[in-house]
Amino acid sequence: MSIYQQILSLSHPRVVVLIDPGKADYRVNEEIVGFCNTSSVPFLLIGGSLVQDYLDSYLLNLRKLTTKPFVLFPGNLMQLSRHADAMLLLSLVSGRNPEYLIGQHVAASLYIRNTAIEVIPTGYMLVDGGGLTTVQYLTQTLPIPSDKIDLAVATAVAAELLGLKLIYLEAGSGAKQPVSPAMVAEIRKCVNLPMVVGGGIKHPHEIEDYAKSGAQIIVLGNSVENNPARLRQILSDLRW
């Protein structure tokens, strides 16, 4: 079964961990992966905002620690590897920079086609998280204001009409203010695609709120990267 089909067939929302090869110490990632191995985490997201030229070797080493699938979350065309199981092909639909709507995709298309990697076309939506994020800075795009729920809904609907297969709502790494569950709920009313939510999520009650609002995947990043034991506590509290 493909990764996308697994997401569609989830009987309950799931927590996924984002591992940034360029940030966390490998020993920290080893601890995080160990917790994931004994949990309901369906796959590991791999990626970040800055270029890493050692992604292939990183994934090969990480593969020794787990049988969980690797799904790439690429910040740019340099963050691709045939050693992943799938990739989110991100179109930054919240912005108006053509480089991140189609430019990077054209440059990487033939490489991607020549690998066996599963491609999941994804509408990537940045939402204001209370401060300038690395993604905003690097992509030179503005996020959707957190109080403009109607704009977020329209953007998600447009992504669905364009044929994208997944919506990823992102407040940014370590966001002060995560995406509001109210925004997720309103998008869920109008869009039939699976939804992923990430950025600034730290507590089990936030995860529960997103699950009730209609998100299929809730992404943890900085909060467990800085304290791997926190992941075990969160998963234990959720009892998923």
Residue range 44-81, pLDDT digits in tens: 999 987 766 789 999 999 999 999 999 999 988 889 99
Residues in contact with 100: Cβ distance below 8 Å, sequence separation at least 6, in sequence order = 90, 91, 92, 139, 141
**What is the rounded distance in angstroms from the CA atom of residue 102 to the CA atom of residue 10?**
30
Query: At what angle are helices 181-190 and 149-161 packed, to 10 degrees?
Result: 40
Question: For 149-186, what is each residue's pLDDT tens digit?
Answer: 999 999 999 999 999 999 999 998 878 999 999 999 99
Domain 3-238, CATH number (from 3.20.20.390, 3.90.1210.10, 1.10.760.10, 3.40.50.300) = 3.20.20.390
Question: For 7-33, what is each residue's pLDDT tens digit?
Answer: 999 999 999 999 998 886 778 888 999
**What is the rounded distance in angstroms from the CA atom of residue 8 to the CA atom of residue 193?**
9
Average pLDDT, whole number, for the chain?
94
**What is the rounded distance in angstroms from the CA atom of residue 30 to the CA atom of residue 81?**
20
